[in-house]
Amino acid sequence: MSSNSTTNNPCAPKDTICVIRVYEQEVIIVPTLLLMATLATLLAILLLRYCPGCRRARAMVPRSSQNHHQTHHRLSHRTTQRHRRDHRRDLQGIDAPPELNILEHEELQMTVQQNVRPKLAAGPQPARDRQHGAFQRVTALPLSFSISPDDTVSLHRARMDNRDVVLRVLKETANSSDRQQFLGFASFLSGLGPHPFLPTLMGVVSEQLPLVIAMEELHHRDLLGFLWRCRQDNSSAENPCDMTERRIFTMAGQVASALEYLHSQSCIHGNVGARSVLIGRDMTAKLWGLGPAYHRRTLAGSPGELEAIEMRKWQAPEVLARRAVSQSSDVWSFGILLYEMVTLGDPPFADILASELLQQLQRGNTLRRPATCSNSLYSIIKSCCQFGNQQRLSMSELIRKLQLGERGANNRTVLRVPEPLDIEEYLREAGFGEAYNYAVL
């Protein structure tokens, strides 16, 4: 036994140097190689993860040289990344050259990306790009009446692809929160998708300052200002103010169609009124004023945050009582809109203070029938403005009644109000406790 042990271990007992020399490969070389391989693997992973150039190089490797597991992992990762980029892609649109300031140039050459509605399918599809020409004749947009200017957004009129557009431009003084809200609103509009009675979103500048949302411009602008111009006979080719009962039914049906569509998208408007309807050259009515709807989504469960945005005399009783807003709340406001249209822009509940409106409604006070309002139209107004939300018309019933009323409505008698408008009196009777710029939303 002693002889065999000496043969297998040539080193004398306690001769450490001899042992290291004999077992050098097992003790030093193999562990060192394993450590180096581990470090190289970690380095390769880090380069592939954080180096764009390395990722591009990896993408150029033929698929045949990679196994099935690697291919499946890479495709899954790219699909996830594309879903994460969907939000930003939807916000890319009119990208101005960085050396141009949209507020200082009359003609701005820009590349426009067609607005694409977010895809609901599992696999993302590439966005379609096209050239729309240029922004031209960028000028400040005057408001019908400006109660309070928005501190973060300015409005401008421009031409794009032979179309009139309105530019909502985020001011340079806006902070990061304002920019986030601005782009969030653009994404919200894009997500709603197209509808014939909603203004068209033409594009968004999201990658360069100043940030811009481009919407189609409707020739006659807001319905409230249009109704005021119709109070006296000042019709012309540019301003045809021939509001008849049939035209009221027609426009109201268009707004109701847009409202029904928003409800189908799980979106409560919350700001229905003549100030929130835009009128096109062909007298088509399109529902706008979507600012409160967006704020309601971002501030869900915080009705107090919306009180400064929405005007109380257009709000349903449950909203005045600070309860949950519902689709029937929009129906109430729609009834107020009909009242505005038939009175050519009178404020609702003019003889009641906004602070006392809920109490008066609880006592059974309702909108009085205007002298120019027919029985059929007033019956719809009353059906919309029932105190209990369960007693109000549904949107489908409302649209059906409007279509029926349109067929039998008077299309000869043009509505007129001889008295000139007193803007200060209007603001007081409409219950504007604070300055409010409706046109910006």
- Looking at the chain, the whole-number percentage of residues with pLDDT higher than 90 is 34
Same domain, 250 and 150: no
Same domain, 270 and 410: yes
CB atoms within 10 A of CB 295: 22
C-alpha gyration radius of the chain: 33
Q: Give the domain extent around 307.
A: 220-441
CB 207 within 8 A of CB 95: yes
Residue 210 belongs to a domain: yes
The widest CA-to-CA distance across the chain, in whole angstroms, is: 130
| DSSP letter assigned to residue 360 | H
376, pLDDT greater than 60: yes
CATH, residue 277: 1.10.510.10
- At 202, is the pLDDT very low, low, confident or very high (cuts 50, 70, 90)? confident
184, pLDDT greater than 50: yes
Residue 217 sits at φ, ψ, to 5 deg, of -95, 135
3-state helix, strand, coil in the chain (%, to 5): 45, 10, 45
CA angle 390, 395, 396 (to 5 degrees): 115
At residue 69, the pLDDT reads 45
CB 341 within 8 A of CB 275: no
Same domain, 287 and 419: yes
Same domain, 162 and 224: no
- At 250, is the pLDDT very low, low, confident or very high (cuts 50, 70, 90)? very high
Mean pLDDT of the chain: 74
- Looking at the chain, the whole-number percentage of residues with pLDDT higher than 70 is 65
Same domain, 208 and 286: no
Last residue of a domain, one of 176, 193, 217: 217
CB 249 within 8 A of CB 406: yes
Last residue of a domain, one of 217, 241, 260: 217
Q: Count structural domains, the chain.
A: 3
304, pLDDT greater than 60: no
Same domain, 345 and 235: yes
| Angle formed by the axes of helices 327-342 and 375-384, nearest 10° | 150
CB 258 within 8 A of CB 195: yes
Residue 42 belongs to a domain: yes
Residue 85 belongs to a domain: no
Q: Which of 78-82, 276-280, 362-366, 371-375 bottoms out in mean pLDDT, i.e. has the lowest?
A: 78-82
At residue 261, the pLDDT reads 97
Last residue of a domain, one of 217, 250, 272: 217
Summarize pLDDT for 54-98 with one digit per residue, the tens: 444 444 444 444 444 444 444 444 444 444 444 333 333 333 333
Same domain, 139 and 156: yes
Cα distance between residue 181 and residue 189, in whole Å: 12
Same domain, 334 and 260: yes
Averaged pLDDT, 246-261: 97
Which string of DSSP letters, residue by residue, matches 46-101?
HHHHH-HHHHHHHHTS-GGGS-HHHHHHHHHHHHHHHHHHHHHHHH---B--TT--
- At 107, is the pLDDT very low, low, confident or very high (cuts 50, 70, 90)? very low
At residue 72, the pLDDT reads 45
Cα-based torsion angle of the residue sequence 19, 22, 23, 25 in order, rounded to the nearest 10 degrees: 150
| Four-residue CA torsion sign, 289, 302, 267, 128 | positive
Residue 253 belongs to a domain: yes
Specify which residues 215 forms β-bridges with: 166, 201
Same domain, 206 and 281: no
Same domain, 226 and 193: no
